[in-house]
């Protein structure tokens, strides 16, 4: 079961700003491990969107931004576009016994 | 260009075995941390196993003792031997390369291969 909790869905009109929360614990975010985000478009493999809290790989628009504070993290999408409609997952490393790499529960972003 | 391509998925009966392979290009699997992640139909992502550049391995509790992750340097492939399969193992299986700096996230992903466990 996922140890990182995300809202099941968020929605917004084109051009709006939406945020996705990711709640962790003392064994992952609270232990200093970074948050990373992936975008999964319908029927495709996940793609790295944000790494080490707030860094974008080459080619990812600056409309996407990330942050982390304490045991929580968030992903913001500004200027929402139709092509942003996808599932988004946060991910971290967990130092508790046998947890290793952990994913969030996933959030479906719908563009109205 | 870094590319990953999984193969070997298919329909297998409960209790059976299947071997997945992931062909890598543009880099050496031996020098990277390599990971398998799976996604059950309509569900989220689940980390399965990792093999470190030194050859050590770690597994999720859900597959420990049943799955074996390995790599073949001559073919530059990552493999996943899956035994004692159950319905709960039905999923798309993705191979991924961990980032080269910390190993804590997944920089590149393959397209996935579907495994269905059913009689």
Q: Is B66 left (phi over 0), alpha (psi -120 to 50) or beta?
A: alpha
Which residues of chain A does B109 touch, with a Cβ-Cβ cutoff of 8 Å? 45-48
The pLDDT tens digits for A43-61 are 999 999 999 999 999 999 9
Which residues of chain B does A89 touch, with a Cβ-Cβ cutoff of 8 Å? 44-45
Among candidates A75, A73, A70, A2, which has minimal Cα distance to A31?
Answer: A70
Separation in Å, CA of A26 to nearest CA in chain B: 17
B46, B58, B110 member nearest A45 (Cβ):
B110
The pLDDT tens digits for B45-56 are 999 999 999 999
Among candidates B90, B99, B91, B85, which has minimal Cα distance to B35?
Answer: B99
B47, B109, B110 member nearest A101 (Cβ):
B47
- From B105, which residue of chain A is nearest by alpha-carbon distance? A36
- From B41, which residue of chain A is nearest by alpha-carbon distance? A43
Residue B19 CA to chain centroid, in angstroms? 10
| Phi, psi (degrees; rounded to nearest 5) at B109 | -130, 150
Q: How many CB atoms lie within 10 A of CB B13?
A: 10
Contact residues for B26 (Cβ-Cβ < 8 A; gap 6+) = B1, B2, B3
Yes or no, beta carbons of A100 and B60 under 8 Å apart: yes
Q: Is B117 left (phi over 0), alpha (psi -120 to 50) or beta?
A: beta
Which residues of chain A does B104 touch, with a Cβ-Cβ cutoff of 8 Å? 33-34, 36, 92-93, 101
DSSP code, position A94: E
- Distance from C-alpha of B21 to C-alpha of B8, rounded to nearest angstrom: 6
Separation in Å, CA of A40 to nearest CA in chain B: 10
The pLDDT tens digits for B56-115 are 999 999 999 999 999 999 999 999 999 999 999 999 999 999 998 888 999 999 999 999
- Distance from C-alpha of A49 to C-alpha of A64, rounded to nearest angstrom: 8
Q: What is the pLDDT of residue A1?
A: 60
């Amino acid at each position: 079961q996922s140890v990182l909790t995300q809202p099941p869905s968020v929605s917004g009109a084109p051009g709006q700003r939406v945020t996705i929360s990711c709640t962790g614990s003392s064994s992952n975010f609270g232990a200093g491990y970074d948050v990373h985000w992936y975008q999964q478009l319908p029927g495709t493999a996940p793609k790295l969107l944000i790494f080490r809290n707030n860094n974008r790989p080459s080619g990812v628009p600056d409309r996407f931004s990330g942050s982390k504070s304490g045991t929580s993290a968030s992903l913001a999408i500004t200027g929402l576009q139709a092509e942003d409609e996808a599932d988004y997952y946060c991910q971290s490393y967990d130092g508790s016994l046998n947890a290793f790499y952990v994913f969030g529960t996933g959030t479906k972003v719908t563009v109205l | 260009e870094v590319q990953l391509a999984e193969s070997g998925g298919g329909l297998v009966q409960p209790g059976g075995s299947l071997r997945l392979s992931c062909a890598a290009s543009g880099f050496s699997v031996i020098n990277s941390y390599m990971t398998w992640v799976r996604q059950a139909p309509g569900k989220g992502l689940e980390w399965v196993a990792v093999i470190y550049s030194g050859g050590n391995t770690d597994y999720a509790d859900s597959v420990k003792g049943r799955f074996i992750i390995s790599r073949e340097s001559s073919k530059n492939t990552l493999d996943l031997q899956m035994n004692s399969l159950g319905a709960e193992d039905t999923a798309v299986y993705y191979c991924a390369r961990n980032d080269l700096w910390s190993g804590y996230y997944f920089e590149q992903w393959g397209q996935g291969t579907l495994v269905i466990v059913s009689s």
